[in-house]
Amino acid sequence: MEVACGLRCTSIVTGKAGVWTIRELVLDDLELNAVPELILRDLIPVCVGERDVFHDDVQMTSIGGQHIACVTSRGSVWTWGNGANGCLGHGDVASRQEPTKL
């Protein structure tokens, strides 16, 4: 098991059970017309992906301010989260809710 912690998010690599994140849920994530950055204080565990998503076992994750990257045992890199300033590495500024392979 591997754990990485960020400002508002924690990721857990559980081997066969995949990658989980536990984070504060921001109302804007729900696409409501709510005040940005209004945070619900419940921590929500979410399974981001298992072997069928990444096509391999995830070895580690790293967390930025509002984004996550992971590396598989075959060296594939996947990112998701806030894409501002191109921080996800996909050549654009689009945010991604699902892991996307580089």
Residue 62 is predicted with a pLDDT of: 92
Residue 78 is predicted with a pLDDT of: 93
What are the pLDDT digits (tens) for 4-37?
Answer: 888 778 888 887 668 888 876 554 444 444 444 4
Please state the separation of Cα 87 from the chain's center in Å. Answer: 13
Residue 102 burial class via C-beta count within 10 angstroms: exposed 0-12, middle 13-18, buried 19 and up: exposed
Q: Which residue has the higher pLDDT, 97 or 24?
A: 97
The answer, yes or no, to whether residue 60 has pLDDT greater than 70, is yes
Q: How far, in Å, CA of 51 to CA of 49, rounded?
A: 7
